[in-house]
Structure 1
Amino acid sequence: MNKFVKLSAVLALATAVSAPAFAAPETYVIDGSHTFPRFSYSHFGLSKQLSRFDKTSGTIVLDKEAKTGSVDIVIDTTSVDTGFPVFNGHIQGADFLDTTAFPTATFKSTKVVFKGDAPTEVQGDLTIKGVTKPVTLTVTSFVAMPHPMLQKDAIGANATTVIKRTDFNAGKYAPNVGDDVTIDIAVEAIKQ
């Protein structure tokens, strides 16, 4: 009987060692001090204007083994920063973002596409001024590593997409002021 118990223990240990380890999904919280959605557009064909939002929150969930994930981001549209206070107020007005009625914009992913170990595309729903449209963010860079200062796991990425202002009821002066708006987001998030 003692040999049977030892053999059973050895087999159980061998099975445990040879079984694949399944990683659980990991949740990362957006670092608002290093996450900035930026947007650019043509201003009467004279220049490409670049502005950003200063307050962003949300979470990113990644399952590296299953190659799945989700992204849930909230942008405080009252934090728009054009570099010019008068224009900040203009962008927040009813003709554009209407931040009195819609103080946030959101992005909720429906699918994260991986190539190898890194996400390359995030498909989801963007809501601006209460209008929701599907968009695809192209991930141009992605890094997962321990944060050198916080000593916690962290991720960072850059992603981009192009939307039309008129699709979101924010099309005043289009097409003279460009209808196409390029959105670039630099994001960092810390593992919870």
Structure 2
Amino acid sequence: MKKQLASLVLALAAASPALAAPETYTVDGTHTFPRFSYSHLGYSTQLSRFNSTSGKVVYDAAAKTGTVDIVIDAKSVDTGYATFNEHIQGEDFLDTAKFPTATFKSTKVVFDGDKPARIEGQLTIKGVTKPVTLTVTDFKAAPHPMLKKNAIGANAWTVIKRSEFNAGKFAPYVGDDVRIDIAIEAIAQ
């Protein structure tokens, strides 16, 4: 009996680090699209997105910890109109000639039960870095049914003032408040 108990304890001890180990996920750029919206002269809410995003997420379900590191190709902005894409990439807004990417690097992931609820971090746009908190509205961690690898996905949002990132031309007529929504999927490496 002592031998069986000792074997069980050793087996559990050996398995515990594997269960608690953080797992690194690569952002799936075909299913990850940051979107942004703002008031256009009070007439409508304009919706646009970025078509190229990369990065990684480290997630440890057992320890309830994680990190998020996202790189957005600012030149991939898609307003639905090529001329306006160029306008948004200009010096008055994203200035993609000097700042071709925007980044988000987490500093803390706050869990509510078993799921991330908020991701605090540093957002850099146009060379300006500011703290932001992403509110997570959906989260799923499960084996991907087609890829047969672990996968995670989430939806999250925040609101920033574009003027704080040196992109405030035409404010307040064109809304200074910009809502950023991100739908992200990532696959275990």
Q: Same fold (TM over 0.5)?
A: yes
Corresponding position: 1:152 with 2:149: yes
The partner residue of 1:21 within 11, 16, 29 is 16
Specify the structure having the higher radius of gyration (Cα): 1
Deviations 1:33-62 (CA, angstroms, capped at 9, x unpaired): 000000000000000000000000000001
Tell me how far apart the structure 2 counterparts of residues 188 and 43 of structure 1 sit (CA, whole Å).
30
Distance across 2 between alignment mates of 1:159 and 1:72: 14
Distance 2:77 2:8 in 1: 58
Instruction: Say whether residues 1:140 and 2:137 are aligned partners.
Output: yes
Residue in 2 aligned with 1:100? Answer: 97
Indicate the SS of the match to 2:16.
coil
Which residue is equivalent to 1:38?
A: 35
Deviating above 4 A after TM superposition, structure 1's stretches of 4 or more consecutive aligned residues are 17-20
TM-score scaled by structure 2? 0.95
Give the superposition deviation at 1:151: 1.2
Which residue does 2:82 correspond to in 1? 85
CA distance in 1, matches of 2:12, 2:105: 38
**Residue deviations 1:67-102, cap 9 Å, x none?**
010000000000000000000000000000000000
Structure 1 equivalent of residue 171 of structure 2: 174
Superposition deviation, residue 130 in structure 1: 0.5
1:72 to 69, 93, 97: 69
Q: Figure out how many residues of one structure are paired with residues of the other and give that number.
A: 186
Q: TM-score, normalised by structure 1?
A: 0.93
Structure 2: gaps spanning 5 or more residues: none
- Note the alpha carbon deviations across 1:122-149, whole angstroms, 9 max, x for none: 0000000000000000000001111111
Report the AA paired with residue 82 of structure 2. Answer: P
After superposition, the CA RMSD in angstroms is 1.4
Percent identical across equivalent pairs?
70
User: In the alignment, which residue of structure 2 is the partner of 1:3?
Assistant: none
Cα separation, 1, equivalents of 2:75 and 2:135: 26
Q: Aligned equivalents of 1:129 and 1:98: distance in 2?
A: 7
Alpha-carbon separation, structure 2, partners of 1:129 and 1:116: 36
Residue 12 in structure 1 maps to residue 6 in structure 2: yes
Partner of 2:184: 187
Specify the SS of the correspondent of 1:154: strand
Q: Quick one: distance in 2 between partners of 1:16 and 1:24?
A: 18
Counterpart AA for 1:133: K
By how many angstroms is 1:115 displaced?
1.1
Cα distance in 1 for residues equivalent to 2:35 and 2:5: 57
